[in-house]
Amino acid sequence: MTEIRFPLPDVGEGLTEAEIVQWRVAPGDAIALDQVFVEIETAKSLVELPSAFEGVVTELLVGEGTTVDVGTPILVIQTADAAGSPAASAPTSEQVAAPAAGAQPAAPPAAAAPATVASHASAPSEGGGAVLVGHGASGPSGTRRRQRHPSPGGAHEHLAPTPPPAPAAASAPAGGTPAPVAPRPDSGVPVIAKPPIRKLAKDLGVDLSRVAPTGPIGDITRDDVIREASQASVFRNIQTPEAPSDRETRIPVKGVRKAIAAAMVQSAYSAPHVSVFVDVDATRTMEYLKRLKASPDYAGVRISPLLIMAKAMLWAVRRNPTVNAQWTDDEIIVKHFVNLGIAAATPRGLIVPNVKNAQDMSMVELATALEQLTLTAREGKTQPAEMQGGTITITNIGVFGMDTGTPILNPGEVGIVALGTIKQKPWVVDGEVRPRFVTTIGGSFDHRVVDGDVVSRFVADVASIIEEPALLLE
């Protein structure tokens, strides 16, 4: 038997410490290769650590809620000395390597440990990027099968049963009679939703009985579920809680909140911000979105104003490349690729994952990437690599009902653009006041890199696409 003391690895570039959030194993538990045994919170994300060894857990060295430095032993595993086992001989810091090919140790061994394991290091994924063992990059998403509109005589035959606790509906008998559908508990109206929509609702914690359907046969669509989930997260604090009995609450500054604070202070006090705003008639964008949603090419893809905003940013960057740059003390580095950051509010705090090489994506590809980015962030599964290397950022404050704001630059970037809420307002068209969908676009920029004229042209270009998305066809 060999005792292995597992050190906290560096799961991101330059990580120095992390907090133990939740142990998934206890002393005496058997642990398998690549089994997730602990959740840690770094300065950027919540990460699940997989085991590099098989054996039995003998001791947890660090309690939950404790912050430890990289390289500190956190777990003791007893392994069998069997041929072919990862611990066939007592490992040393020179002998023990991560299970993935080409892996590099990320933390030095503890001096007093009988045998210390080099931390999980990055292994090549299918996409070529380095990933943590057990956290391979997602493969290419499967092709979505296009759903045909059901005939009136069998409108419900393709539907999945209502999620538990309701019992599964019986299959449709011969003759075309639709299977029974469980009624909504609050209204008595049947819930009509395709199986993928039901799965999405379950993943997002959405009660389908509370969703207003907008589908052609009264069915719940993907957008209906997404909208309900977004509203739930935005208005979750509507209910006023009871006042706590304690006179004050002290919240430790650590993890994501500590990283956010440091980044915002660095950005606000190192980069001289200049901000501009413009009101835009977004009526044609809203009409364009309706056409995209009705197109078979976009079946199963979430379409939202953020998609048009992202395309507008990419178009405007091509016309004003210096906003997609980085300031150093010695030079300005203009990037000829766009890693488009999307500021995302999560239960753990603000994070800014980015879509890599967004400039090369089609509209469908960009829509899919934005949807995946949003869902991953909401679930707290965004990895450090997904937040690195951003070149310019969008913050969609419109989802919170805000018209505009003065965002702070993401450190290392020159521009950030805010999209406000889109709502009907009186607007003068051809000398007449008419109701139009209006929004406000604002942005902040690093005045060391771009002057007022470049800033104004860039925001005006973004606004011109929101006002007339047909310009994207140029």
Q: What is the pLDDT of residues 307-325, one digit of tens each?
A: 999 999 999 999 999 999 9
Number of H helices, E strands in the chain: 7, 20
**For residue 99, how far is the Cα from the chain centroid?**
28
| pLDDT of amino acid 349 | 78
Greatest C-alpha distance within the chain: 86
pLDDT at 280: 96
pLDDT: is 267 or 110 the higher one?
267
pLDDT at 416: 96
Name the residue with tokens 């950027």: 44
CA atoms of 385 and 389, how far apart (whole Å): 8
Q: What residue ranges in 95-155 does DSSP mark as E strands?
A: 123-124, 130-131
Encode burial over 376-396: b for 16+ CB neighbours within 10 A, e otherwise.
Answer: bbbeeebbbbbbeebbbbbbb
| Topology classification of domain 2-131 | OB fold (Dihydrolipoamide Acetyltransferase, E2P) (2.40.50)
Q: Decide if pLDDT at 267 tops 80.
A: yes
Instruction: Give the pLDDT score at 20.
Output: 87
Q: Is the peptide bond before 140 cis (omega within 30 degrees of 0)?
A: no
Which has the minimum average pLDDT: 22-26, 113-117, 330-334, 403-407? 113-117
Residue 337's closest CA among 326, 328, 329? 326
Supply the pLDDT for residue 156.
41
CA distance 107 to 86: 19
Residue among 141, 170, 142 at smallest CA distance from 156 = 170
Quick count: other Cβ atoms within 10 Å of Cβ 270? 12
Q: What is the DSSP letter of 324?
A: S
3-state secondary structure of 449: coil
Q: Is the pLDDT of residue 281 over 90?
A: yes
Query: Which pair of structure tokens corresponds to residue 382?
Result: 């965004």
The HSE-up count of residue 297 (CA atoms within 13 Å, CB side) is 8
Question: What does the DSSP assignment read for 175-213?
Answer: TSPPPP-PBPTTT-PBP---HHHHHHHHHHT--GGGPPP
- When pLDDT is cut at 50, 70 and 90, the band that residue 232 belongs to is low
Closest by CA to 460, choosing from 280, 232, 231, 246, is 280
Q: 265 versus 86: which is more confidently predicted? A: 265
Residue 260 and residue 266: Cα distance in Å, rounded? 10
pLDDT, position 415: 96
Task: Please give the model's pTM, rounded to 2 decimal places.
Answer: 0.56
Mean pLDDT of 39-66: 83
The rounded distance, in Å, linking the Cα atoms of 323 and 137 is 30
CATH code 3.30.365.10 for 273-473:
no
Q: 61 and 76 in contact (C-beta within 8 Å)? A: yes
- Residue/partner pairs of 303-306 with CB below 8 Å, 24 or more apart: 303/223, 303/367, 304/223, 304/226, 304/370, 305/398, 305/419, 305/422, 305/439, 306/342, 306/370, 306/394, 306/396, 306/419
Query: Catalytic site residues?
Result: 447
Q: Which of 180, 177, 184, 176 is nearest to 168 (CA)?
A: 180
Average pLDDT over residues 181-204: 67
pLDDT at 152: 43
So what's the pLDDT on residue 213? 87
Residues of the chain above pLDDT 90, percent? 32
Query: What pLDDT, on a 0 to 100 scale, did the predictor assign at position 264?
Result: 87
Domain layout of the chain by residue ranges: 2-131, 190-234, 273-473
Q: pLDDT band for 89, please (50, 70, 90 cuts).
A: very low
pLDDT score of 114 more than 70: no
Rounded to whole angstroms, the Cα distance separating 360 from 366 reads 9
**What integer best gives the mean pLDDT of the chain?**
77
CATH classification code of 190-234:
4.10.320.10
User: Which range, of 253-267, 390-404, 432-446, averages the lowest pLDDT?
Assistant: 253-267
The stretch 212-226 carries a mean pLDDT of 84
C-alpha–C-alpha distance, residues 253 and 248, integer Å: 16
- CA distances to 201, 354, 380 from 375, rounded to whole Å, are 12, 13, 9
Closest CA to 460 of 424, 431, 417: 417
- Which pLDDT does position 98 carry in this prediction? 41
Instruction: Please give the residue that has the higher pLDDT: either 284 or 256.
Output: 284
Confidence at residue 200, expressed as pLDDT on a 0 to 100 scale: 81
Q: Rounded mean pLDDT of 431-447?
A: 95
pLDDT, residue 375, reads 84
What's the rounded mean pLDDT across residues 329-338? 94
What is the share, in percent, of the chain residues with pLDDT greater than 70?
73
Highest mean pLDDT of the ranges 204-208, 344-348, 421-425:
421-425
- Is pLDDT above 80 for 386? yes
Q: Say what the pLDDT of residue 351 is.
A: 87
HSE-CB for 236 with a 13 A CA cutoff: 10
Most confident of 198-202, 219-223, 303-307, 463-467: 463-467
H or E, element range at 440 = strand 432-446
